[in-house]
Amino acid sequence: MTTVRLGFAADWAGFRAAARNLAAAGARPETITWLVGEEANLFADDTPPPPSEASFTVPRRYVDLAETVIMARDPERFALLYGLLYRIRHGESGLLQDAADPAVHRAMMLAHAVRRDIHKMRAFVRFREVSDDGGTRHVAWFEPDHHIVEANAPFFVRRFATLAWSILTPERSVHWDAERLRLGPGASRADLPEDDRFAECWQVYYRAIFNPARLKISAMLSEMPRKYWKNLPEARDIPALIAAAGARTEGMLAAPATTPRLARIRAPAADDAQATPWAILKNQAQVCRNCPLWEHATQTVFGEGEIGAAIMLVGEQPGDQEDLAGRPFIGPAGQVLDHALRAAGLERSALYITNAVKHFKFEPRGRRRIHQKPNDAEIEVCRFWLDQERELIEPRLTVALGATAGRALLGRAVTISRERGRLIDLPGGARALITVHPSYLLRLSDAAAKRREYAAFVRDLRLAAEMAATGMGLQHSEP
Ligand code: URA
């Protein structure tokens, strides 16, 4: 009989060296007794394995499996692993592919249990804070099922690199002082400091994320098995939360709909020293509920650009991409616009760009959101914001891109083909110019028409640039 005495329960280096020597010497598994630390040898005297220089390769898959299984709290794990190695060396090189083999199956089950335990330790370690003359430390108590503490320590070092902490467990303790990791003997739960503010934080957090309407006790117990509860401050609330879940769900169903998140955004108060009038206006528009379009849109898409710009561009309403990004004209129509602006010698950053309607109106179709034209009432209600933007920016020229913008600006229906390219006086001395909407150009399928219309669009924008630069009138008409 040969006896191998390993240094500690998950002594991978010791096992690997011994197993290598034994396998090289052809030692049969049943002739080996595996012991850990001071464990007594009931069956034979200690006879160490013969040293061996022989080298051989072991499949990577075996090493990965063995490194994990060695942490299992199963007294047979060393024999099991050496048995597998012996068989791999003696004609069963593909053994680990055979999950139906009882020994392989057993090893896989143990590896699974160890991995789960590692994961649970990462999820359920709860530190408490202790401050004394030596400074502040964070101490946690955890009861692992397997011998996973050393293997898991680097995870906690990475995650809490700058804190000093100790994780106490019944068999081993690990201590990190923000520089060095130290292993120590086991501890007892009584070594854990008193409950602290962190415990309360965990309780508050858990109560906040607990959704009574989604309660599934079996799924919850699988995620957070009862055996961990005694060391989790938040678990103290679980029985009461479960007991109250039914009534709370009924209350939720009976209650009127809550105001969605955007409605609670605080508009800066007028005396907020940081807030410019434009920022105040923009924030107020974020919570606009003046028409139903806000309900399905992601957010209000307010205007952006140069405050005091000579030219303001007004589009129709944000599209799908604008709705998601919260910025006007950044999708396909925006790209056409950017192109045309450059061709007309205008810098987008020198302009102010906004829309007649500030929420995306669409119809869901499968996973797509199909643009819908805003109606007259929606345009009229949203004019409130456009008027205020114009008052603040005071553009010399406002360019209406398309009929919706024209209506918002002039307060009447606009026929683009009849009115484009002419300057229109607005009340207060400013002027408007009507042109097409860039998405009209995108919709044209005939290439020649597309080129022609694009050139006309650029011409209109060039007129706008000249007019804004010189302040000179071109051809006037009444609003
Ligand atoms: N179309 C518009 O009218 N405005 C945008 O912001 C995007 C597309």
- In tens, the pLDDT along 217-271 reads 998 898 899 999 999 999 999 999 999 999 999 998 888 765 444 434 445 555 5
Query: Does 302 sit in the ligand 1 pocket, CB within 6 Å?
Result: no
Give me 13's structure tokens.
């280096």
- Residue 90 CA to residue 294 CA, distance in Å, equals 72
Non-local (6+) Cβ contacts of 102 within 8 A are none
- Decide whether any atom of ligand 1 lies within 6 Å of the 329 Cβ: yes
Which contacts qualify for 171-178: CB closer than 8 Å, 24 or more apart?
Answer: 171/9, 171/147, 172/147, 173/149, 174/149, 174/150
CATH of 271-471, one of 3.10.20.30, 3.40.50.150, 1.10.10.10, 3.40.470.10: 3.40.470.10
Exposure b/e, 55-77, CB count within 10 A at least 16 = b: eeeeeeebeebbbbbbbbbbeeb
Residue 471 backbone zone (phi > 0: left; psi -120 to 50: alpha; other: beta)? left
More confident position, 5 or 46: 5
Q: Worst-scoring range by mean pLDDT, 22-36, 205-219, 378-392? A: 205-219
φ, ψ (nearest 5 deg) of residue 400: -90, 120
Give the Cα separation of 194 and 180 in Å (integer): 26
Cα of 401 from ligand 1 centre, angstroms: 9
Pick the closest to residue 308 from 428, 391, 405, 386 (CA basis): 391
User: Encoding tokens for residue 424?
Assistant: 């229109």
DSSP state at residue 400: E
Read off the pLDDT of residues 228-241 as tens digits, 9 standing for 90 and up: 999 999 999 999 99
Ligand 1 centroid from CA 434, angstroms: 16
Mean pLDDT of 60-69: 95
Quote the pLDDT of residue 264: 41
Contact, 243 vs 217, CB < 8 A?
no
pLDDT tens track for 113-146? 999 999 999 999 999 988 888 788 999 999 999 9
pLDDT attached to residue 45: 64
Task: Determine the distance separating the centroid of ligand 1 and the alpha carbon of 349, expressed in angstroms.
Answer: 17
Out of 324, 329, 372, give the residue to mutate to test ligand 1, the one with the largest number of ligand atoms within 8 Å of its CB: 329
Sign, Cα dihedral of 233, 234, 237, 242: negative
Helix (H) or strand (E) holding 260: none
Minimal CA–CA distance to 336: which of 351, 348, 325, 324?
A: 348
What per-residue confidence (pLDDT) applies to 256?
76
How confident is the model over 399-455, as pLDDT tens digits? Answer: 999 999 999 999 999 999 999 988 898 877 789 999 999 999 999 999 999 999 999
Q: How far apart are the first and last CA of the chain?
A: 107
In this prediction, residue 90 has a pLDDT band, given cuts at 50, 70 and 90, of very high
Q: Which residues of 426-464 are buried (b: 16+ CB within 10 A; e: fewer)?
A: eeeebbbbbbbbbbbbeeeeeeeeeeeebeebbbbbebb
Question: Structure pTM?
Answer: 0.55
Is the C-beta atom of 318 inside 6 A of ligand 1? yes
pLDDT of residue 474: 43
Give residue limits of the domains in the chain. 2-119, 125-191, 205-254, 271-471
**3-state secondary structure (DSSP) of residue 271:** coil
> Residue 323: CB within 6 Å of ligand 1?
no
In this predicted structure, the answer to whether residue 272 has a pLDDT above a threshold of 80 is no
Question: Is the Cβ atom of 33 under 6 angstroms away from ligand 1?
Answer: no
Q: Token pair for residue 224?
A: 């957070």
